[in-house]
Amino acid sequence: MQSSIYRGVEEAGKKSPLELPAKLGPKEILLKITHASLCGTDVHFLASGMALGYEGVGVIEKIGSRVTQFIVGEEIVLVQLHQKWEDVYCYERSAYGEKDHNTGTFSDYCGLISTAVLDIGLKTYLHKVPDNLPSELAAPLQCAGATTYSAIVQSVKPGDRVGILGIGGLGHLAIQFSAKLGHETIVFSSSVDKKAEAKSFGASEFYLLSEPEKIRKPIDVLIVAGSKYPEWSK
């Protein structure tokens, strides 16, 4: 079965053909990708020639004989991991340089191993999309969403004032999680144009990065979701 995928080529993306396996393994799933979001990690993939796409949503087209928790036709949100399941992040340090990986969400079909299908052994990385959640909004939640949510629930105590630095892919989710969890949420941005957006996400207070001296009360936990910082000495 023929498919296509985008790879990093000379700091840009290039579409290339991809032959899908004729038969799935017993614990594998074949996904038809419907939505993909752009992640900062993709920048690291460009120079390596790896398959692009780190976050996305897909519909199950085929399942292996031992797959029981998912069915054909079900919509799945996933985070893409370019590794071989021997924990290459910890031992080989080569996850960002393996050109033979064919599993990115910037493709027709996708999974989490080099055969462009999904091994369901790592349950943490894929979930059913709730019926009331639009696919395009679900796409970034397994990476950007999980990153910010886990930082908040593991670090913030009841009554803490939470600072969110930046309102990009991570920051806009962090603001919503913090506010929905009942925390005072103080947002910092380099642009005053982001104030209305931050407030709509649930920000209690908004400050420009250039004016940290205007902060009303101390912040207990700061979630850094941007590349610019205030001049704290003010």
Q: What are the chain's domains?
A: 3-139 (3.90.180.10), 146-224 (3.40.50.720)
Residue 194: the pLDDT is 95
Helix, strand, or coil here: 191?
A: coil
Task: pLDDT tens for the chain, 234 residues: list them.
Answer: 666 666 666 656 666 766 676 777 787 788 888 888 777 777 777 766 677 777 788 888 888 888 888 899 999 887 665 444 444 343 444 444 455 555 666 555 554 333 334 555 555 567 889 999 999 899 888 888 988 999 999 999 999 999 999 999 899 999 999 999 999 999 999 999 999 999 999 999 999 999 888 988 999 999 999 888 877 766
SS (HEC) of 65-126: CCCCCCCCCCEEEEECCCCCCCCCCCCCCCCCCCCCCCCCCCECEECCCCCCCEECCCHHHE
CA separation for the pair 184, 189 (Å, rounded): 17
Residue 63: the pLDDT is 83
The neighbour count for residue 227, using CB atoms within 10 Å, is: 10
pTM of the model: 0.75
Q: Is the dihedral of CA 185, 186, 189, 195 positive or negative?
A: positive
Residue 3: the pLDDT is 63
* Beta-sheet strand order (sheet of 221-224): 205-208, 184-189, 161-165, 221-224
**Exposed, middle or buried by CB within 10 Å (0-12, 13-18, 19+), for 226?**
middle
Among 191, 167, 39, 190, smallest CA distance to 179 is for 167
Residue 157: the pLDDT is 95
pLDDT in tens, 33-63: 888 877 777 777 776 667 777 778 888 888 8
The structure tokens 């017993």 sit at: 26
